[in-house]
Amino acid sequence: MKLIYDFDLPALTELFQSWDEPAYRAKQTWEGLYRHFWNAPEEFTSLSKPLREKLAANLQFAPLSPISQMASSDKQTIKTLFRLHDGQVIETVLMRYGTRNTQNATRSRNTLCISTQAGCAMGCVFCATGQMGFKRHLSSGEIVAQALHYARLLHEQNERVTNIVLMGMGEPFHNYDNTMAAIDRLNDESGFNFGARRFTLSTVGLVPFIRRFADETRQVNLAVSLHAADDETRGAMMPVNKRYPIAEVIEACKYYVHKTGRRITFEWALIHGVNDTPETARKLAVLLKGILCHVNAIPLNPTTGYEGKATDRQRAQIFKETLEQAGVPCTIRMRRGIDIAAGCGQLAGSTS
């Protein structure tokens, strides 16, 4: 049975027309899904009962079954483990920033980190998702449904999702078409109306797709996982570097900035003794010279399959200062949700 979230509005309209239902019924259904966050046929009270029954008989509504939900000790990070219809599991993480009372609701930030694949084929050694291997691509509807799950939850508290990062399980550019379809569906003004600029997509550095993404017109932010300034080091951490070495990644990033005028983010997991020396910072600055960019450094989060240790605060600070002295802006990202394995690179669909 087809998943209702896999349809965009024109496709839904076409389906309704094939049932001899007028286009405005499709629009009402669309609004039910993306404005009211209804997720069961019986909730669509704007439709007639026979039509609701037809929807129930022909379309799947609940692609994600929440198996467990965990909150970090400070309650600011929530991770949900979902089971998909075929038994695969994925994780989605909500990070809340700032105050949460009603008066200040508009000032709080709710960033959602969503998955694009079950597992990942890229095999980065320091990443729990890479360590588990590739299971399958998510459909666009399965990606969309993660956002709607949390939109519904926040809506009950008079809040909303403010940012979406495609940095959960999987490599978004390995599942390019479904990922873009999901972004476009959530971006649709007549539905969820989530601004393109409030999405950030992170890629391991699949060069042809960085170029394709640059050629398309979306205003989605792009982050590229670099993690090393020489091919030997990067190749040892990220198998993809053998296919797309650093020079090619940087060329593609320059093309992206030139084409879009947008600032690009480079991600850097700081690993003690591997990629965190001042020499490395200077090498990185040379590599990034002249590119409208900034570096997002994050001390490595622990995973069972990798022995590397996180850079301590002091060394991280020196790395940042060295980069900045060489003209490259750098922020050190706060570690979030480590106690529930919800941090970057820790998502592996484990139920424990």
Binding site for ligand SF4 (CB under 6 A): 120, 122-124, 127, 129-130, 170-171, 204, 225, 345
SS (H, E, C) 205-229: CCHHHHHHHHHCCCCCEEEEECCCC
Of the residues 14, 43, 91, 253, only one is catalytic, namely 91
Given 143, 206, 298, 328, the residue binding ligand SAH (CB under 6 A) = 298
Closest separation in Å from C-beta 297 to ligand SAH? 10
Query: Of the listed pieces 28-36, 188-196, 201-209, 256-264, which binds ligand SAH according to CB under 6 A?
Result: 201-209
Cα of 12 vs its chain's centroid, Å: 25
Given 77, 80, 200, 202, the residue binding ligand SAH (CB under 6 A) = 202
Closest separation in Å from C-beta 167 to ligand SAH? 4
Q: Distance between CA atoms of 324 and 95, rounded to whole angstroms?
A: 28
Query: Of the listed pieces 43-51, 183-191, 198-206, 280-288, which binds ligand SAH according to CB under 6 A?
Result: 198-206
CA angle, 270 as apex, 268 and 276 as ends, to 5°?
A: 105
Closest separation in Å from C-beta 155 to ligand SAH? 27
What sign has the CA pseudo-torsion 152, 154, 157, 163?
A: negative
DSSP letters along 22-69, please?
A: -HHHHHHHHHHHHTS---SGGG-TTS-HHHHHHHHHHEE----EEEEE
Closest separation in Å from C-beta 335 to ligand SAH? 8
Which one-letter amino acid corresponds to residue 39?
N
272, 312 Cβ separation under 8 angstroms: yes
- Name the residue nearer to ligand SAH (CB basis): 162 or 202: 202
Residue 165 binds: one of ligand SF4, ligand SAH, none (C-beta under 5 to 8 A by kind)? none
b/e sequence 282-303, b meaning 16+ C-beta within 10 Å = bbbbebbeebebbbbbbbbbbb
Contact between 348 and ligand SAH by CB under 6 A: the answer reads no
Q: Which residues bind ligand SAH (CB under 6 A)?
A: 126-127, 167, 171, 202-204, 225, 267, 269, 298, 300-301, 303, 344-345
